[in-house]
Amino acid sequence: MAVCARHLERAQATAAQFGVKRAYDRVADLVASDLDAVFVSTPEAEQASVAAEVLRARRHVFVEKPLGLNSREAATIADLAAGAGVFVMVGFMKRFAPAYQEMRRAAQDAAFGERLSLYGMFAIGSRAGWEDAWYLQTGAIHYVDLCRYLFGEVLDVVGMRNSRGTQVIQLVSLRFDGGRRCTRHLQGDPRLSTSTVTWARCSTSSTACTPRHPRSRLPPITCRP
């Protein structure tokens, strides 16, 4: 194990805290050591370049979202991973939340009926610099990925916004195979500080299902005819 940070003294302090023997201030030195994988957690604008350097050394990568600030950066990382024969995993933890796993399991059950749509809201505190694009890339992207987890790959996107600076208001509708729709009301509000409000509702030909977020006051998952 090893720790790498921009400043060696910070890397050394973190290494000492967790009982790690090696500390570096250069990614090149880190990947030259005998590591199987590297966790990349840097400021968003730097993640793609750090991940690329690790992949060129043929190390597996876990990287926080966003994978890149545009499709070109994301495609570069994907190509490097494929060429090196290693894995890249992006930190979309919503896929592993018990409520959403249960929602997916229930929605895929034949008794649930044909999946038609998902509608939900995600709201989180925003601050200076968290205008529309940045908010979507660094916060709300979790729920874009959640829609993919539930329905598959996106075919096309329709969206609109009514934002005012850090008061972000977005409505995004994603279309999936079979005409399924996932519509998300996305909001960034400086009055929310860093708290999160989230809920989702899945509709089918026979039932509706509302999952409970771990910190939500909503009732547990219920399915009704």
Kindly give the pairing relationship between strand 115-124 and strand 156-161. Answer: unpaired
3-state secondary structure of 37: strand
- Which tens digit of pLDDT belongs to each residue from 134-167? 898 888 999 889 999 999 999 999 999 999 988 9
In the structure, what pLDDT confidence band is assigned to residue 12 with cuts at 50, 70 and 90?
very high
Tokens representing residue 12 in the block: 């050394």
Decide: 30 and 23 in contact? Cβ < 8 Å: no
Mean pLDDT, the chain, rounded, equals: 86
* Across 14-23, 76-85, 122-131, 191-200, least confident range: 191-200
pLDDT for residue 183: 93
In the structure, what pLDDT confidence band is assigned to residue 197 with cuts at 50, 70 and 90?
low
CATH number at residue 116: 3.30.360.10
pLDDT for residue 112: 87
CA distances from 43 to 23, 35, 69, 91, 195 (A): 19, 22, 11, 14, 21
Does the structure show a pLDDT above 90 at 74?
yes
Q: Of the candidates 27, 77, 26, 37, which has an alpha carbon nearest to the alpha carbon of residue 61?
A: 37
Q: Of the candidates 97, 194, 112, which has an alpha carbon nearest to the alpha carbon of residue 143?
A: 97
Q: Where are the alpha helices (DSSP H) in the chain?
A: 8-17, 27-32, 44-56, 71-84, 98-108, 132-135, 141-151
Phi, psi for 192 (deg, rounded to 5):
-85, -5
CATH number at residue 44: 3.40.50.720
| Same domain assignment for residues 80 and 102 | no
| Same domain assignment for residues 46 and 103 | no
Range(s) of the domain holding residue 157: 93-224
Among 69, 90, 111, give the residue marking a domain's end. 90
In the structure, what pLDDT confidence band is assigned to residue 190 with cuts at 50, 70 and 90?
confident
pLDDT for residue 199: 55
- The total of other beta-carbon atoms located within 10 Å of residue 32's CB is 11
Among 90, 123, 152, give the residue marking a domain's end. 90
- Which tens digit of pLDDT belongs to each residue from 41-56? 999 989 999 999 999 9
Does the structure show a pLDDT above 50 at 215?
no
Q: Quote the number of domains for the chain.
A: 2
pLDDT for residue 213: 46
pLDDT for residue 196: 53
| Same domain assignment for residues 62 and 163 | no
